[in-house]
Structure 1
Amino acid sequence: MINRQPRQTVTFKFQPFSRRQMQVLSWWRYPATKDKYMVIADGSIRAGKTVVMSMSFVLWSMHTFDRKQFGMAGKTIGSLRRNVVGPLKQMLASRGFHLRDNRAENMITISRGGKENYYYLFGGKDESSQDLVQGLTTAGFFFDEIALMPESFVNQATARNSVSGAKLWMNCNPAGPFHWFKTKWIDRIDERNALRLHFLMTDNPSMDLETRQRYESQYSGVFYKRYIQGLWVMAEGIIYSNFNPAKMVVDLPADTVYEQEAVSIDYGTMNATAFKRWSLYRGVWYSTDEYYYSGRDSETNTQLSDEQYSDELEQFYLRNGLEKSGVPVILDPSAKSFKVALKQRGFRVRNAKNNVLDGIRSEMSLMDEGKIKWSSKCVNTFREINSYIWDEKAADRGEDKPVKQHDHACDADRYMVETVIVPYFKRSYFWHGR
């Protein structure tokens, strides 16, 4: 016989709020700010913006309206549910609110004291997302990480906010100074009749000093300025400006026994192709060998075929003592024909994750933490690292993009980082978390 224990209700334990968090919670009630149309909270990561903003949004809407529709948006429905809706449900339950979550329609009904309102959930992931909000009339809209959403979606969503007395809640971490949200919303704060509240990690009283220092140690360069200092700064100059050969170039003994290995590949037809061997040893991933070929730079100006590159990879595995059946290939996801050729040869092939900014940010963090290093054999990688720069023209448009030059070995490294190394450290005690 199975003894079933009664299900325990999860309660939310509120911590004392900081002054900045209290401003978010109560701005709509105070004479000096209650007539503002919106609140914008921007600044560093882990500053406690999202939790208090979502709570403030619901408290305001339930205090002000009854039987009205509201919108809540995140980059995706999944991220919105994970980062906002989950904690919000616990907070509201602790305050005596009743919630019904209709996942089929992505709508949450919230009620208390005879009032009831309806909150529709949206993901603003691309230009097509604007179609999702057409036809909706809202009395308020909440945007989590608004700088990650397309401008078209935000414009369409805010246009639906047409009930008398409607307001907007927006939060984000900074991007570049020419990002559309910076230039068209934050820089026009008075014209928008908005209250802007700038957050730092010190505005989150639930974060202790050790945790804050851990997050501060995870970022370098432009990402440190944005995610830790909360600044809207341009991505410019050399991308991997934190690369330090004295600390990051290490040759291990030839007889080293590695715990895990993989080969990452950036594939080019006219551009260069790079193979990178990666080996795990005592909690550090080492790029222990490389292969690099560019038809443009060869003496014969000849590009290799899929079959010829497959031969080259066979030789690369042979010289490194790697088994095709045991060591996976992490492949450029665009190299579809090459993937077929490799599988026919018996290689284990995985499509690489290819989010450029996430990969760069993760790689810089791992470099600073001493979790990835390179062998002196990686001469083409070092040449590229010293030439891999941010695209200034893209930055002028508010976009963060590397210049598509000198990036083949760098791309192969980034594939490995996002597809294998980051998941490895997330599963182990070596990784602090992002």
Structure 2
Amino acid sequence: MYKALAGKQLRSTMLATASGNLWEGAVRSSKTISSILVWLKYVRLGPAGPLLMVGKTERTLKRNIIDPIIEMVGSQRCVYKAGAGELILFGRTIYTAGANDERAAEKIKGMTLAGAYLDEVTTFPETFFKMLGTRLSIPNAQWFGTTNPEGPNHWLKKQFLNRAKLHLQRDGTIAQSQDPTAIDLHRFSFSLDDNPYLPTAYVERLKLEYTGLFYRRYVLGEWCLAEGVVYDMFDEKKHVVDLLPDITRWMAVGLDYGTINPFAALLVGVGSDNRLYVASEYRHDSRLARRQLTDAEYSEGLRGWLASYEHRGTKGVQPQWVFVDPSAASFMTQLWADGLPGVAKADNTVKDGIRSVSVALGQNVLSVHRSCKGLLGELPSYAWDEKAALKGEDAPLKVDDHSVDALRYALHSTAHEWRSLIRTNLEVAA
């Protein structure tokens, strides 16, 4: 059941009168619901002509936008034709598309559009966004979009948001640009506190969950640089243990494959105290050993490591999953041939994966056994790439990142399984 808009939510819908209208800021701050309501009105009353809805992928567009629309207006008035790239909304056909790489611009070449809805705009290639601007050529055409903040040097921030004609700011005031080069764009900035309908306990939990960079972006709604140490919340005194509790489930192995670079694998389990533990590490550095191993030798070493690991008098573990860097296709084939169960491609999305690890460390639901020397050596020095940040990109330095990558694979690929541990531990602490 959706509630009536209030405060900044309502104001933004009344101010969405420009050629471009963008809701940006914190997660769960009501950006999406406000923008959807404006879009629904536009579909009914806007100028005639083709319409377009775009997400990072069609799958995320369906999950983030189309499914909520169906819930709001009913499945008879909103019909999504999966695979056809079309949505029928209020009897009007709307094209749907994903825009997750540079080839996306080809999808809209030649189109003449009367309007567009854009989800997760910062994930689009710049070429796609600029191409879209040339396609909205029907008189009085408008676009409406949402996004979370990125770095202040992101192309969307520098070239568009900084030049907006009107800005509904995070403090609720309206700034109108007097710059003659301002573009016909209205920008609406939200923080987490701008959603009056979120339960107080939920808001507090989100504020505790995010730390550092992700707190500033996803709670405060700031466009800030990714700089310094990635895992600045890591504290050896807090996160390193000499003894493990009973492990109730061996959840996963995260594995970063290397030939010339180090090969690193981490064993992660869930303890009887409802916390995650990196219990053991298998690592081979060809440079130090002065010998590269074959896929078969790595497979043998990995399986031997799992078979020999001993915990509380029990020898040998069989994790539910073995998540491997997707680029290591030949090694996965070797593991399948050798009968190792649970082998799967890791979710190797870098920034989202870093956020998952940051949440686990920041909420103190993750500890590392002192024997994991490679990981403990990399965590304190793993840093953001300042040169990439100046280009508007969030990327860590590709230096001494093999065990931290393995950790990211293990935790991000299983995030849906362990996120509830955060809530459990917060309730216990309360």
The aligned counterpart of 1:136 is 111
1:41 equivalent in alignment to 2:58: no
The aligned counterpart of 1:108 is 87
Matches within 5 A, 1:346-425: 346-348=339-341, 349-420=343-414, 422-425=415-418
Residues 365 and 422 in structure 2, CA contact (< 8 A), matched pair in contact too: no
The aligned counterpart of 1:306 is 295
Q: Deviations over 1:306-360 (max 9, x none)?
A: 2332343244224314547666432222222323333343322222221111111
The aligned counterpart of 1:7 is none
Matches within 5 A, 1:200-215: 200-215=191-206
1:16 equivalent in alignment to 2:4: yes
Deviation larger for 236-245 or 333-342: 333-342
Letter in 1 for 2:87: I
The aligned counterpart of 1:231 is 222
Deviation larger for 343-352 or 158-167: 343-352
Matches within 5 A, 1:237-276: 237-252=228-243, 256-276=246-266
The aligned counterpart of 2:58 is 77
Provide the C-alpha distance between the structure 2 equivalents of 1:221 and 1:427, rounded to a whole number of angstroms: 21
Residues 176 and 395 in structure 1, CA contact (< 8 A), matched pair in contact too: yes
Q: Deviations over 1:70-99 (max 9, x none)?
A: 1111111121122112222343459xx944
Sequence identity (%):
30
The aligned counterpart of 2:280 is 289
What's the RMSD between the two structures over aligned residues? 2.4
Q: Deviations over 1:192-221 (max 9, x none)?
A: 121111111222122121111111111111
Provide the C-alpha distance between the structure 1 equivalents of 2:37 and 2:21, rounded to a whole number of angstroms: 13
Could you say if the C-alpha distance between residues 120 and 257 of structure 1 is closer, same or farther in structure 2, counting changes exceeding 3 Å? closer
Could you say if the C-alpha distance between residues 318 and 38 of structure 1 is closer, same or farther in structure 2, counting changes exceeding 3 Å? closer
Residues 18 and 203 in structure 1, CA contact (< 8 A), matched pair in contact too: no
Could you say if the C-alpha distance between residues 176 and 132 of structure 1 is closer, same or farther in structure 2, counting changes exceeding 3 Å? same
Provide the C-alpha distance between the structure 2 equivalents of 1:99 and 1:38, rounded to a whole number of angstroms: 24
- Secondary structure of 1:399's counterpart equals coil
| Ranges in structure 2 where 5+ consecutive residues have no aligned partner | 166-181, 426-430
Letter in 2 for 1:334: S
The aligned counterpart of 1:8 is none
Provide the C-alpha distance between the structure 2 equivalents of 1:242 and 1:250, rounded to a whole number of angstroms: 16
- Secondary structure of 2:353's counterpart equals helix
Residues 26 and 190 in structure 2, CA contact (< 8 A), matched pair in contact too: yes
TM-score by length of 1: 0.86
The aligned counterpart of 2:98 is 123
Provide the C-alpha distance between the structure 1 equivalents of 2:291 and 2:351, rounded to a whole number of angstroms: 32
Q: Deviations over 1:286-322 (max 9, x none)?
A: 1111122212234xx3322323323432442243145
Letter in 1 for 2:151: G
Shift of 1:249: 1.2
Residues 68 and 118 in structure 1, CA contact (< 8 A), matched pair in contact too: no
Could you say if the C-alpha distance between residues 305 and 377 of structure 1 is closer, same or farther in structure 2, counting changes exceeding 3 Å? same
Letter in 1 for 2:3: Q
Provide the C-alpha distance between the structure 2 equivalents of 1:431 and 1:76, rounded to a whole number of angstroms: 33
Q: Deviations over 1:152-180 (max 9, x none)?
A: 11122221101111112122110011111
- Secondary structure of 2:112's counterpart equals coil
1:316 equivalent in alignment to 2:316: no
Residues 164 and 186 in structure 2, CA contact (< 8 A), matched pair in contact too: yes
Provide the C-alpha distance between the structure 1 equivalents of 2:199 and 2:317, rounded to a whole number of angstroms: 47
Deviation larger for 360-369 or 125-134: 125-134
TM-score by length of 2: 0.86
Could you say if the C-alpha distance between residues 99 and 302 of structure 1 is closer, same or farther in structure 2, counting changes exceeding 3 Å? closer
Letter in 1 for 2:263: T
Provide the C-alpha distance between the structure 2 equivalents of 1:122 and 1:253, rounded to a whole number of angstroms: 48
Provide the C-alpha distance between the structure 1 equivalents of 2:244 and 2:32, rounded to a whole number of angstroms: 49
Letter in 2 for 1:121: T
Aligned residue pairs total 403
Residues 307 and 317 in structure 2, CA contact (< 8 A), matched pair in contact too: no
Residues 244 and 279 in structure 2, CA contact (< 8 A), matched pair in contact too: no
Provide the C-alpha distance between the structure 2 equivalents of 1:60 and 1:341, rounded to a whole number of angstroms: 54
